[in-house]
Amino acid sequence: MRSWNYKLLCGAVCLAQLACLSLPVWAAQNSAAFTRQTTLQQLRDDPAIKSSGYYTYCRELSGLGNEYWKNKTLEQYMRPELVDDSVAAMNLVAENTRNGVQVTWQVYSPEEIAANSSLGCVQLYYFPGKEPGGKYALVVPGNGSTMTSEMEEGGSTAYQLHEQGYTVFVLRYRTWIDMGDNAPIQDLANAVKFITAHAGQFGVQPENYALVGYSSGGQIAGIFANKERGYGSYQVERPGALLLGYPVVDLTVMKPLYHILYDIGTCGWRYYWANLCNMVDADYPPVYFWWGKNDVVLSSAEMPGQHRDFDRTLERNNIPHQMVVYQNAPHSIGTGNGTDAEGWMTDAVAFWEAHTTG
């Protein structure tokens, strides 16, 4: 029952988003600045956020969940490490919308969505850079197998990178009951293809982009960086660098469960069976990644098949890389304010710049 509740909620929200994208710009002029004390309902009722189409349902799995969360403040809804950057991101979304910027872009065409309705939820959220013509970053948030973290990991990262001058896109990709048949890899590939096709319109160069991935989003980004299984098979631009926070390297015991839940009765390669160590090839892009010793979600991080093995594999293959290990950096903290990981993105951007040109 929960999966159907989720699908109905997702479908209703997607339809509402598509309707809001057609709202005139003047409808967004009366927005107020958001703070930690803004409630979810106030955020969602704001004319600019409505008009932007930005997806703000990052915890709700049902109508009951929506009722529970809608009167909670952003401070209550978001992780403490992310709330300030995430609130700033929502203010930036509202500002861009008031300035006539289209924030939400459908990755798939109307014809593709008509043939497969789940594709309608695959979206890019656009944060224009301060100067046109530069490199862009594409954020692949974690998903926890249920829904992606567009406002928290996605929004907080977009805000910090925007403050450093970059154009940023946050990807909402298929997950939960729609993540079978390698859907997240396909969505990421088509997002890169879409950005490349509209590079002039977005004011970005298509080459040397950074993929910023968290948790399971980090695994998706890491697999996409493989030429055979990822960017090469979809004939899209190779990433210039991977910037990964607490990435899943190997799903270990979850692999059979994922197959039963999402691909039962099917054969063939599935991304969640992949260990990132086996994805590293001669064409693999430079990698900056970090994790925390107190990350209880990835408690197997010190065990074979996780981060230290990934580090050694990159070393053996002569791939430029940097691994950072923090004492205090729990899971799902994104930009990591208030933890040992605070400021990691500045170092990661320096790594990206050092290993790309243009």
Q: What is the pLDDT of residue 257?
A: 67
Q: What average pLDDT does this structure show over 220-243?
A: 97
Helices 83-98 and 155-163 pack at an angle, to 10 degrees, of: 70
Q: Is 35 left (phi over 0), alpha (psi -120 to 50) or beta?
A: beta
pLDDT score, position 324: 97
Rg over alpha carbons for the chain, rounded to the nearest Å, is 19
**Once rounded to an integer, what is the mean pLDDT over residues 301-312?**
79
Please indicate, yes or no, if residue 73 is contained in any of the structural domains: no
The pLDDT value given to residue 145: 55
CA separation, residue 83 to residues 76, 244, 309 (Å): 9, 20, 33
**CA-CA distance, 241 to 212, in Å (whole number)?**
9
Helix residue spans in the chain (DSSP H): 2-20, 40-45, 47-52, 63-69, 74-77, 83-98, 110-115, 155-163, 183-197, 199-202, 216-224, 254-262, 276-279, 307-316, 344-354
pLDDT digits (tens, 9 = 90+) for 55-107: 998 877 667 778 888 899 999 999 999 999 999 999 999 999 999 999 999 99
76 in any annotated domain: no
Domain count, the chain: 1
Domain assignment present for 256:
yes
pLDDT at position 5? 43
Q: What is the pLDDT of residues 9-66, one digit of tens each?
A: 445 445 445 455 544 444 445 556 999 999 999 999 999 999 999 999 887 766 777 8
Residue 128 has pLDDT above 90, yes or no: yes
pLDDT band at 208 (very low <50, low <70, confident <90, very high): very high
pLDDT, residue 149, reads 85
Domain of 244, in residue numbers: 103-354
In a domain, 267, yes or no: yes
Alpha-carbon span 230 to 253, nearest angstrom? 23
Is 37 within the bounds of a domain? no
Residue 43 lies in a domain: no
64 domain residue, yes or no: no
**What's the pLDDT band for 131 if we cut at 50, 70, 90?**
confident
**Cα–Cα distance for residue pair 126/138, rounded to 1 Å:** 10
- What's the whole-number mean pLDDT along residues 120-138? 95
Mean model confidence pLDDT for the chain: 88
Residue 136: give its domain's CATH number. 3.40.50.1820
Q: How many residues does the chain have?
A: 358
Q: Give the pTM.
A: 0.90
